[in-house]
């Protein structure tokens, strides 16, 4: 069974329909890049997967959990689905370590010592072990984003969602974050990334989705997708962003 | 001589409201005049003026209003000035109000960015013209919500004039309560009347506040 | 001038003044604790509660904010016995003051809660925290830190407002002053000393609160 399954998903904000009958299937280990103009619905799509947004109709099934069902217990699922935000959203009043151990201790009930071990390991994976006791405002944007990734990794997720995580970073800091993502991809993590980093998508993703006007306008294997776009809209989009 | 609480009593209470409004208006007049001076000194370039204003505000805000009322009430005769009780009370309320209004208005004045001064100076306006056409209009917009909020506080504060015998709404309530031995319904009515007077102003202040921040 | 100041008579009554001062401090302290608890509960109800709780919180705050403290104290003073609760004047004053402070504190705390960016809440929710856990770990302490200055200013105002309790014969500092005044007829001197005492208390409280802040924010 697919890890993530979206069937005929419709999402509305008031009168505005943001997602129009979206179907998507993601297998374990797949790396999917989602591109498109602002307003095309790509962030909303991602947020529907971990239940940050509700859907008006259709089904969202993640790792066996019916996310679209208001009665579902999403808490358990969110422990398995990591989400990294564009604006990092680190907790400013907590140290880096506490930011990372918060989830494992409170949601998974681990004791502090075990959680601390997890935190150190997660920080090692993103290359920031020495920042254990720092606070968010002492770190650069790239470092904060890597801590945010570590925070999600510490929960041992089966799937990671990334919502334009490099868009708010200064260009010279983007590289360090992308390197972390490449390592995760190599280790076999299932990843969905909404991104503007076309070169990264071409290099790392298995499949790329182009969202336009609330639907998946075109999708395909990475190489073919960027080399020979089939629809005019995708051709225009790639033309405008790749120059 | 005890009497029953009757339907006339609420009417007398409502009538007493006019004294509450009267003191409020008088105190506002005095407090505004003095408050403008305090605000001007507090935001001026002159260090002595600024310190004096800060000292005044600190003094007023560090002493309970009741104490101010008594100080003026007993102080005037001591210094040979013979004033009726209501005037002493009004002076006390004015001095007290100026300490708060002055601070509110100083805050509004200094929140106008320096760039506004620079832009209007570059247009060739004099200091007074800058104040009149550019600075004060903006400061007034910022200062209005908290000022209206303070007016509500002032209305409530006039209840303390009852302590020095001034017959406004609260004192009228006290006398009625004593005469009818029904303090609870009387004071609930008194409370309702203050509420009727203050709530519209509070709502207006909140409306102004929302409109101010919505526009930004 | 024809009047000579006689502060000596007032100083002779220093015991009365000191016991009044002690009660003022006691009233202030207990009211701050009670008022803070009420404020926190009402703020939580106003932000997270069901419709009826939010309406009740709003009604409570508006009723207190639009009526004078003096009248509120009278209502509590005469109202409690009428529902069968007979208390000494000090608990009555504390209750009245706490109900008053609670309304103002709740507005301040509510602003603090609403000042925490939604993105913080989202990040915590995305990790799997429940609403209560999010409030406890992510919202409460940062919110209180944000509104600490407003809250402590309100506490100082409360200390000054305890003087109004003199009108229901609570023997705090101001009441002590009026007793001495009626005994010695040194009206002006008495109230000058009282005023200075309050001023000193207000300054002291400001210093104490500033110190507390530095101690509580024990970051780096």
**pLDDT tens-place string over residues C160-195:** 999 999 999 999 999 998 888 877 766 788 899 999
Q: Which domain holds residue A186?
A: 4-241
C-alpha B126/C-alpha B132 separation (Å) is 10
pLDDT, averaged per 10 consecutive residues of chain A (243 residues), comes to 90 92 94 92 92 91 88 84 91 91 89 94 94 93 94 92 93 92 92 93 93 92 91 90 75
B183 → closest Cβ in C78, C166, C191: C78
pLDDT above 60 (res B207): yes
Range with the lowest mean pLDDT among A197-201, B59-63, B108-112, B120-124? B120-124
**pLDDT tens-place string over residues B118-155:** 888 787 777 777 778 888 888 888 899 999 999 999 99
CB pairs under 8 A between A and C: 59
Residues of chain B neighbouring C10 (CB-CB closer than 8 A): none
Residue of A nearest to C145 (CA): A93
Token reading at A134: 């720092």
Cβ of C128 within 8 Å of Cβ of A89? The answer is no
CATH number of B21-166, picked from 1.10.3720.10, 1.25.10.10, 3.40.1160.10, 3.40.50.2020 = 1.10.3720.10
Non-local (6+) Cβ contacts of A214 within 8 A are A17, A18, A19, A20, A22, A40, A41
Check: CB of residue B73 under 8 Å from CB of residue B163.
no
Which CATH number goes with the domain that contains A62? 3.40.50.300
Strand segments, DSSP code E, in chain A are 4-13, 16-26, 31-36, 57-62, 65-66, 81-84, 159-163, 190-194, 207-212, 215-221
Whole-structure pTM value: 0.85
Each domain of chain C, given as residue ranges in start order, spans 7-216
Cβ of C65 within 8 Å of Cβ of B162? The answer is no
A106 → closest Cβ in C137, C141, C142: C137
Instruction: Choose the mutation target among B5, B13, B66 for the interface with C, i.e. most C CBs under 10 Å.
Output: B66
The predicted complex's ipTM stands at 0.90
Q: State residue C3's pLDDT score.
A: 54
Cβ of B64 within 8 Å of Cβ of C161? The answer is yes
Total domains in the fold of chain A: 1
C-alpha A236/C-alpha B178 separation (Å) is 86
Q: Do chains B and C touch (3 or more CB pairs under 8 A)?
A: yes
Is C163 near chain B, with CB under 8 Å? Answer: yes
β-pairing, A81-84 with A159-163?
parallel
Q: CA–CA distance from C183 to each of C2, C16, C166, C170, C206 (Å)?
A: 22, 12, 17, 18, 33
Q: How does residue B165 score in pLDDT terms, banded at 50, 70 and 90?
A: confident
Instruction: Choose the mutation target among C117, C123, C134, C148 for the interface with A, i.e. most A CBs under 10 Å.
Output: C123
Each domain of chain B, given as residue ranges in start order, spans 21-166
Cβ of C123 within 8 Å of Cβ of A90? The answer is yes
C-alpha B148/C-alpha B128 separation (Å) is 26
Q: Which residues of chain C have pLDDT under 70?
A: 1-12, 185-186, 218-220
Instruction: Choose the mutation target among B158, B159, B163 for the interface with C, i.e. most C CBs under 10 Å.
Output: B159
Assigned CATH class of C7-216: mainly alpha
A22: burial class by Cβ within 10 Å (0-12, 13-18, 19+)?
buried
Q: Over range B29-54, report the average pLDDT.
A: 91
- Residues in B 36-65 with any Cβ partner in C closer than 8 A: 59, 61-65
Token reading at C90: 């000090």
Q: Which neighbouring-strand residues pair with A11?
A: A19
Q: Over range B41-57, report the average pLDDT.
A: 90
A102 → closest Cβ in C125, C127, C142: C127
Percent pLDDT > 70 in chain B is 98
Is C203 near chain B, with CB under 8 Å? Answer: yes
Q: How does residue B214 score in pLDDT terms, banded at 50, 70 and 90?
A: low
Residue of A nearest to C121 (CA): A89
- Residues in B 85-114 with any Cβ partner in C closer than 8 A: none
């Amino acid at each position: 069974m697919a890890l993530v399954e979206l069937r005929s998903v419709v999402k509305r904000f008031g009168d505005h329909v943001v997602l129009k009958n979206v179907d998507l299937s993601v297998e374990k280990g797949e790396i999917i890049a989602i591109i498109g103009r602002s307003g095309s619905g790509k962030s909303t799509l991602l947020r529907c997967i971990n239940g940050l947004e509700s859907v008006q109709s259709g089904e969202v099934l993640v790792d066996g959990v019916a996310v679209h069902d208001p009665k579902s217990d999403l808490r358990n699922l969110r422990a398995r689905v990591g989400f990294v935000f564009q604006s990092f959203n680190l907790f400013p009043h907590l140290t880096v370590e506490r930011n990372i151990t918060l989830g494992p201790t409170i949601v998974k009930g681990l004791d502090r010592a075990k959680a601390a071990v997890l935190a150190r390991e997660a920080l090692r994976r993103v290359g920031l072990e020495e920042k254990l006791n720092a606070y968010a405002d002492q770190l650069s944007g790239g470092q904060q984003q890597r801590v945010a990734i570590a925070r999600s990794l510490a929960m041992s997720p089966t799937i990671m969602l990334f919502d334009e995580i490099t868009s708010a970073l200064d260009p010279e800091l983007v590289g360090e974050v992308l390197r972390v993502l490449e390592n995760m991809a190599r280790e076999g993590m299932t990843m969905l990334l909404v991104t503007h980093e076309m070169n990264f998508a071409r290099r790392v993703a298995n499949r790329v989705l182009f969202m336009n006007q609330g639907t998946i306008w075109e999708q395909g294997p990475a190489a073919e997708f960027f080399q020979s776009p089939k629809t005019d809209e995708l051709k225009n989009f790639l033309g405008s962003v790749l120059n | 001589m005890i009497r029953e609480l009757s339907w006339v009593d609420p009417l007398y209470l409502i009538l007493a409201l006019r004294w509450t409004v009267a003191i409020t208006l008088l105190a506002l007049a005095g407090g505004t005049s003095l408050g403008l001076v305090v605000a001007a000194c507090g935001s001026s370039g002159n260090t002595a003026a600024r310190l004096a204003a800060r000292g005044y505000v600190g003094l007023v805000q560090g002493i309970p209003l009741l104490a101010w009322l008594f100080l003026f009430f007993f102080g005037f005769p001591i210094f040979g000035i013979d004033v009726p009780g209501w005037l002493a009370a009004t002076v006390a309320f004015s001095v007290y109000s100026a300490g708060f209004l002055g601070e509110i208005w100083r805050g509004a004045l200094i929140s106008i960015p320096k760039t506004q001064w620079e832009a209007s100076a570059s247009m060739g306006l004099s200091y007074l013209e800058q104040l009149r056409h550019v600075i004060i209009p903006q400061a007034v917009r910022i200062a209005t919500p908290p000022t209206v909020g303070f007016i509500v506080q002032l209305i409530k504060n006039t209840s303390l004039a009852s302590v020095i015998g001034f017959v406004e709404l609260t004192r009228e309530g006290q006398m009625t309560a004593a005469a009818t031995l029904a303090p609870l319904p009387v004071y609930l009515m008194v409370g309702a009347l203050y509420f009727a007077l203050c709530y519209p102003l509070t709502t207006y202040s909140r409306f102004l506040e929302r409109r101010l921040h919505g526009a930004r | 001038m024809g009047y000579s100041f006689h502060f000596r008579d007032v100083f002779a009554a220093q015991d009365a003044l000191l016991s009044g001062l002690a009660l003022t401090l006691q009233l202030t302290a207990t009211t701050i604790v009670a008022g803070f608890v009420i404020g926190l509960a009402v703020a939580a109800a106003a932000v997270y509660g069901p419709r009826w709780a939010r309406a009740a919180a709003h009604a409570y705050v508006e009723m207190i904010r639009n009526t004078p403290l003096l009248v509120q104290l009278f209502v509590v003073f005469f109202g409690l016995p009428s529902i069968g609760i007979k208390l000494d004047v000090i608990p009555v004053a504390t209750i009245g003051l706490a109900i008053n402070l609670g309304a103002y504190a709740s507005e301040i705390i509510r602003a603090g809660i609403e000042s925490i960016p939604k993105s913080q809440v989202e990040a915590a929710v995305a990790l799997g925290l429940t609403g209560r856990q999010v409030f406890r770990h992510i919202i409460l302490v940062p919110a209180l830190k944000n509104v600490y200055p407003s809250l402590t200013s309100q506490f100082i105002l409360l200390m000054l407002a305890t003087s109004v309790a003199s009108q229901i014969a609570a023997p705090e500092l101001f009441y002590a002053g009026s007793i001495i005044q009626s005994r010695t007829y040194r009206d002006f001197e008495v109230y000058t000393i009282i005023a200075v005492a309050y001023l000193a208390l207000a300054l002291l409280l400001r210093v104490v609160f500033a110190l507390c802040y530095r101690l509580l924010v024990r970051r780096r």
